[in-house]
Amino acid sequence: MQITETSLPGVLLFTPRIFSDSRGVFFETYNEREMREAGLPTEWRQDNFSISAKNVIRGIHYQIIQPQGKLVRVAYGSVVDVAVDLRRSSPDFGKHVAVELSGENGLALWIPPGFGHAFAVLSDKAGFSYKVTDYYSPAGERTVLWNDPALGIAWPIAAEEAIVSAKDQQGKPLKDAEVFL
């Protein structure tokens, strides 16, 4: 597995070695030794899975209490996955990185604690899987407004076509959001 840093320090892209033949494909989705060697967590508290329809945008989510690191990937379909630096003391505060993850390319993204996370579904349906380093904390959950112009995220879905939950529509603009120090 190849691990490369994205334009945001600490956010890493995992590219698996994919073996394919007439039967289909095979690749490793997780290797504890390689994670440890890269200095990443090897203990996970939850595995989560969601299925979303085309044009769904989920996020920008994070937990101020019990912050979570996330290792995310798409089992089937395709999404544009976004990580936003929400650490006020970071020189990259408010910056984001966007990566297309799909069942076909097998890519995974590591999003450390202190970052917000969102994704937009490009395919008819997408199965989205993530491992997290801490448990879900309803009291700690926060949402930054997915289309806050201050973030400059070029979503691949027109705003009028985006399917966004009521909770995510009530997200706060970055300037008003409770973020990390």
Q: Would you state the pLDDT for residue 29?
A: 87
Q: Would you state the pLDDT for residue 113?
A: 97
Residue-wise pLDDT tens digits, 33-65: 998 998 899 899 999 999 999 999 999 999 999
Q: Would you state the pLDDT for residue 25?
A: 86
Cα distance between residue 87 and residue 58, in whole Å:
21
Q: Mean pLDDT, to the nearest integer, of 161-176? A: 97
Q: Would you state the pLDDT for residue 143?
A: 98
> Catalytic residue at 96?
no
| Single pTM value for the model | 0.93
**Residues facing residue 82 across a β-bridge:** 98, 118
Topology adopted by domain 44-176: Jelly Rolls (2.60.120)
Q: Would you state the pLDDT for residue 61?
A: 98
Query: How is the beta sheet containing 96-102 ordered, strand by strand?
Result: 96-102, 78-85, 115-121, 57-63, 141-143
Q: Is the bond preceding 65 in cis, omega lying within 30 degrees of 0? A: no
Nearest Cα neighbor of 71 from 104, 35, 25, 125 is: 35
Q: Would you state the pLDDT for residue 1?
A: 86
Q: Would you state the pLDDT for residue 28?
A: 87
C-alpha distances in Å from residue 107, one per residue of 1, 91, 117: 10, 27, 16
Find out whether 55 and 149 touch, Cβ atoms under 8 Å: no
Cα distance between residue 32 and residue 34, in whole Å:
6
Given 30, 61, 76, 135, which residue is catalytic? 61
> Catalytic residue at 130?
yes
Given 62, 96, 117, 130, which residue is catalytic? 130
Q: List the chain domain ranges.
A: 44-176
